[in-house]
Amino acid sequence: MQIQTKAVHVGDRKKPGPAIPVTTPIYTAASYFYEDMEQLDRIFAREEPGYCYSRYDNPTNVALEELITSLENGHGSLACASGMSAIQIALLAALNDRRKSIVAADALYGATINLLLKVLEPLGVEVTFVDLCDLEAVEKAVAEHRPGCVLMETVSNPLLRVGEMDRVARIAREAGAALVVDNTFATPLLVRPFEWGANLVVHSVTKFLAGHGDVLGGTVTSDAAHYDTLRTLSRAYGPVLGPFESYLTMRGIKTFPLRMERHCANASRVAAWLSENPAIERVHFPGDPAHPDSAAIRRLLPPGLYGAMVSFELKGARREEIFRFMERLKLVVRATSLGDVHSLILYPVMSSHREVPPAQRERLGIRDNLLRLSVGIEAVEDVIEDLGQALG
C-alpha cells in the first residue's frame, strides 16, 4: 500500500476482541461493513438485527433507546436530535394512518404550539386547542373533531397544570385517537405515562435526563402498536441524535434519579419560601395543596415529588421590574432552559412563549409578571438567599 492508501485504511474496521466495554462507547461510524453480503442483505431487509447505516440505527443510540424504553416501561424508543424533532416525529407516527387532526392541550411549550400552528396546520393538519384539565371540554372537542391524536404535557409549561392523563387517554382511545404525552417536566421518576394509557411518550432529554446543560436531544418512546411506524418514518425523515450526545445523555441519566429527588426537595422549599414573600403575587407549584389540579396531582405524582419547576408572579411588576429583578440575581442563571444542575430562571413572555399570540397567552394566564424557575441541586439556602437579595 502506498502512503495515501495507508492513511485512509490502516487501523479501521478492527474488532475489539472478546472484551465488552463496561460503559457504552461513542460509535461515530456512519456505516457498517460485513464480510458476508448475504448477511448485509438480511440486515437491510430487517430479517436479522444489525447495523448498516447510522440514520437507521447506531449502537450508542440503541443503548440510550433501550435505557429510555426501560425507564418509561415502553416497547421501544427513538433518540432524536432535539425535543422538538421528537415531538414532530411522534405526532407524525400517531397521525400516520389516522385522521389528520390533533386535539392539543392549550397549555404547551411555545415551540410546540408553533410546530402545530406554523408547520402542521399549513400542511393540512387540523389543530384544535382545549383545556386538558377540563374533561368535558376534552370530550366535546374529541367528539366534534374526531382527531387522530391528542397531545398533552404531563406537567405543562410554564403554569405547571396537571391533567387527568388516564381519563384523557380513555377519551382518546374510545375515539380511536393516539395519546402523545410530553413527559419532559415530570420525568419517568414522577410519572410513567404508559401506565396511564399513553401511546407515545416524548422527552426533551436536554432537560432533566441529560441534566447538565451540555446536550440537546430528544426521545420518543412508543407502545408496540406505533413502533414500526416510528422507525420507518425515522428512516425517511432522519431526525436522529448524534452518538456523542447519546453518550452524554446516558452518562447524565445514571445520576438522574438522585438529581431529581434533590431538584424536587429544593423546589418544594423554594415554592414555600416564595409563597410567604410579600413581593410575590402568586406561586404556581404542583406541591401546593391549593393548586387548581390538586386532585389529579394526588393521583398522578408520588407524594413529595412535585418536580423542579416553580413559576411565580412578581406583584405589580412590568417588564422593566422583571428585567431588573433578573439582573440582580447572582447565583440563579438567567438562561433559556430547565432541568440543569444549576438553577435557571426564564421570562416566558420574552422567551419560551414569545411567539404565542398575546391573546392566547392572556387566556392561558401567562402574564407579563410571570417568571419560571427551574430549581437546581445547589444547597437550597443559597438559592433562597439569592432570590431574597434580588427581590430586595
Ligand X SMILES: Cc1ncc(COP(=O)(O)O)c(C=O)c1O
Give residue number: closest CB to ligand X.
83
15 is catalytic: no
Residue among 34, 42, 53, 55 flagged as catalytic: 55
Among the listed residues 207, 262, 361, 372, the single catalytic one is 207
Q: Which is nearer to ligand X, 105 or 317 (CB)?
A: 105
Q: Is 182 a catalytic residue?
A: yes
Q: How far is the CB of 60 from ligand X (least distance, A)?
A: 18
Nearer Cβ to ligand X (61/384):
61
DSSP code, position 48:
S
Interface with ligand X (CB under 6 A): 82-84, 109, 111, 153, 157, 182, 184-185, 204, 206, 216, 218
Minimum CB separation of residue 111 from ligand X in Å reads 6
Q: Which of 272, 265, 253, 344 is nearest to 306 (CA)?
A: 265
Instruction: Kindly state the smallest distance separating residue 337's Cβ from ligand X, in Å.
Output: 6
Half-sphere exposure at residue 79, Cβ-oriented, CA atoms within 13 angstroms: 32
CB nearer ligand X, residue 76 or residue 348 = 348
Residue with cell 406583584: 315
CA distance 377 to 336: 18
Rounded to an integer, what distance in angstroms lies between the CA atom of residue 173 and that of residue 197? 9
Looking at the Cβ atoms of 63 and 90, the one nearer to ligand X is 90
Task: Produce one character per residue of 307-344: b if its CB has 16 or more CB atoms within 10 Å, e if not.
Answer: bbbbbbbbeebeeeebeebbeebeebbeeebbbbbbbb
Q: Supply 367's cell numbers.
A: 402574564
Q: Tell me the closest approach of the beta carbon of residue 378 to ligand X, in angstroms.
A: 21
Residue 219 CB, nearest distance to ligand X (Å)?
10
CB of 85 to ligand X, least distance (A): 7
Q: Is the separation of the CB atoms in 27 and 60 below 8 Å?
A: yes
Which residue's CB is nearer to ligand X, number 157 or number 222? Answer: 157
Which is the catalytic residue, given 27, 56, 57, 182?
182
Decide whether 43 or 209 has the Cβ nearer to ligand X: 209
The answer to whether 318 is a known catalytic residue is no
The answer for residues whose C-beta is within 8 angstroms of residue 283's C-beta and 6 or more apart is 271, 274, 275, 310, 311, 312, 313
330 is catalytic: no
Radius of gyration for the alpha carbons in the chain, expressed in angstroms and rounded? 22
What span, in angstroms and rounded, lies between the C-alpha atoms of 229 and 284?
A: 38
Angle, nearest 10°, between helix axes 135-145 and 165-174?
A: 20
Coil vs helix vs strand at 205 = coil
Q: Which is nearer to ligand X, 114 or 294 (CB)?
A: 114
The residue whose grid cell reads 417588564 is 319
Torsion angle, CA of 51/55/60/61, rounded to 10 degrees? -120
Residue the block writes with cell 449502537: 59
Q: How far is the CB of 56 from ligand X (least distance, A)?
A: 22
C-alpha cell at 118: 406554523
The residue whose grid cell reads 441519566 is 253
The letter for the amino acid at 238 is G
Closest separation in Å from C-beta 320 to ligand X: 25
344 phi, psi to nearest 5 deg? -130, 140
C-alpha cell belonging to residue 60: 450508542
Q: Which of 32, 109, 227, 306 is catalytic?
A: 109
Closer by beta carbon to ligand X, 273 or else 306: 306
- Tell me which residue has cell 419547576: 309
The catalytic site residues sit at: 55, 109, 182, 207
